[in-house]
């Protein structure tokens, strides 16, 4: 069975600052993908970023980047220049070729003006 | 392009009542799934389908039924609602490969009294 752990239930950051959201995982598969999804107060689930396990280069999408440490099974999300619109719940998720998508419990991020 | 359409957005049921949550996608995705979201629990997989006529159980299937008569539609049925089924429900579809991101509906907030 695969697991995804987000140990921080909530975080707060000042607007324009940088924040890092932590995620650790466990899987027995060799080929897998990791995702970060954002859920704003509107409840919509939005894909933020995706990382392929066999790629050593960390994925980036504008202000969002990941720190993927495969040996440590860690997949943290860094948000640079935080904006008020980044206030949301963020979910880390893992999928493998032989397993279904598994979500972490989520972290609530608040961006302070 | 509508993506994944999920109805209703809100629903209140009394214990023992039945209802169907509707889900339709227009992206010709074979894979569809239902999740429930509860505070502190993340998203948990209820049922999923890899194509028309094929369904399987996820992590928390008890109390729910599904069917997949067409590629487009994947309804979720609650035969006898219980207060423990109070939750937010999401339908999702996915492209051909396991690493494709999920496309989510906008969710249904269900309250069972």
B42 and A106 in contact by Cβ < 8 A? yes
A25-55: pLDDT as tens digits:
999 988 899 999 999 999 999 999 999 999 8
| Partner-chain contact B40 A9, CB within 8 Å | yes
**Which of A87-91, B2-6, B34-38, B88-92 has the least mean pLDDT?**
B2-6
CA distance B40 to A25: 17
Reduced to 3 DSSP states, what percent helix, strand and coil does chain B have, rounded to the nearest 5? 5, 55, 45
Averaged pLDDT, A17-31: 95
Of B58, B101, B106, the CB nearest to A43: B106
Interchain contact, B42 vs A104, CB within 8 Å:
yes
Res A88 pLDDT > 70 = yes
Across B68-91, average pLDDT: 97
Distance CA B4, CA A16 (A): 34
Residue B54 banded pLDDT, cuts 50, 70, 90: very high
End-to-end CA distance of chain A: 41
Q: Residue B1 pLDDT more than 70?
A: no
Cβ proximity of A107 and A10 under 8 Å:
yes
| In the predicted structure, residue A98 carries a pLDDT above the cut 80 | no
Interface probe, candidates B2, B10, B99, chain A, greatest A C-beta count within 10 A: B99
Give pLDDT tens digits for A48-81: 999 999 988 899 999 999 999 999 999 999 999 9
Average pLDDT over residues B71-84: 97
Phi/psi of residue B61, nearest 5 degrees? -85, -15
The pLDDT score that the predictor gives to residue B23 is 98
Shortest Cα–Cα distance, A95 to chain B (Å) = 7
Using CA atoms, how far apart are residues A36 and A49, in angstroms rounded to an integer?
A: 5
Could you tell me which residues are beta bridge partners of residue A34?
A51, A94
Q: Quote the pLDDT of residue B36.
A: 97
Summarize pLDDT for B56-71 with one digit per residue, the tens: 999 999 999 999 999 9
pLDDT attached to residue A19: 98
């Amino acid at each position: 069975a695969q697991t995804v752990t987000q140990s921080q239930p909530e975080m707060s950051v000042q607007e324009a600052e940088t924040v890092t959201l932590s995620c650790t995982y466990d899987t027995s598969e060799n080929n897998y993908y990791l995702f970060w999804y954002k859920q704003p107060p509107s409840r919509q689930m939005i894909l933020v970023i995706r990382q392929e396990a066999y790629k050593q280069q960390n994925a980036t999408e504008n202000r969002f980047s990941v720190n993927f440490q495969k040996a440590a099974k860690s997949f943290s999300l860094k948000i640079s220049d935080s904006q008020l619109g980044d206030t949301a719940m963020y979910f880390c998720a893992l999928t493998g070729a032989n397993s279904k998508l598994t979500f972490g419990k989520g972290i609530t991020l608040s961006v302070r003006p | 392009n509508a993506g994944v359409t999920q109805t209703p957005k809100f629903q209140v049921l009394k214990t023992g009542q039945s209802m169907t949550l509707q889900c339709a996608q227009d992206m010709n995705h074979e894979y569809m799934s239902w999740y429930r979201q509860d505070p502190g629990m993340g998203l948990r997989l209820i049922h999923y389908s890899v194509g028309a006529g094929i369904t399987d159980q996820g992590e928390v299937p008890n109390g729910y039924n599904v069917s997949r008569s067409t590629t487009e539609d994947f309804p979720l049925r609650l035969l006898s609602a219980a207060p423990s089924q109070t939750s937010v429900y999401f339908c999702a579809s996915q492209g051909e490969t396991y690493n494709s991101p999920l496309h989510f509906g906008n969710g249904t907030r269900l309250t069972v009294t």
